[in-house]
Amino acid sequence: MKMTEELRLIDPTEGLREEYLDYIEEFRQAGEVEAPGSGWHAGDTFESLIGRIRDYARGRNLPEGWVPDSTYWLLRSSRLIGACDIRHRLTEALTDFGGHIGYAIRPRERGKGYGTTMLELALEKARDLGISRVLVTCDKRNIASARVIQKNGGVLDSESHSQRAGRVTQRYWIEPAEGSEGT
């Protein structure tokens, strides 16, 4: 069975509140401050977080300098494995660091191929949004992420010290072909 048959990207939903909170707590316990899909603000309720995610996908109530972005959760059965954000267009800042797609796999599920599959599924969503050429960036030290990007057809375009990220960032372009497998 292909892993993509077991996994699916879904829109965030109120019905997975406890699973989402467990997901975020796992990142905190691992000492990781931020992950895609974790835009929790002080005073938020889970419902307000879901509302904000929906607004951002529609380009509503965006913070200054932000572009519309769609957040998806990667599920295996009802287990939240990872999350990704797809920015609908690039700004100069996103070209420097961030790109079109950001993604993260929960710490205990890493090294199992989920990142490769999630990026493959995210590329399909990007194509559905009309993004024909996708920029994905990663920290040069994050060899696992670079491999995920390369397995999905990423071609290294450049690397430089990102002012925004404060470290060396690699920039990969992926041209999602219609019906491509990506791996």
DSSP collapsed to 3 states, 23-74? HHHHHHHCCCCCCCCCCCCCCCCHHHHHHHHHHHHCCCCCCCCCCCEEEEEE
Region 70-96 average pLDDT: 94
Indicate whether 180 pLDDT > 70.
no
Domains, the chain, in order of start with CATH, read 3-174 (3.40.630.30)
Does the pTM exceed 0.85?
Answer: yes
**How high is the pLDDT of residue 182?**
38
Cα-only R_g, the chain: 16
Indicate whether 181 pLDDT > 90.
no
Q: Which residue has the higher pLDDT, 2 or 81?
A: 81
DSSP-derived pairing of the beta strands 155-162 and 134-139: unpaired
pLDDT 10s digits, 127-154: 999 998 999 999 999 999 999 999 999 9
Instruction: Determine the residue type at 74.
Output: L
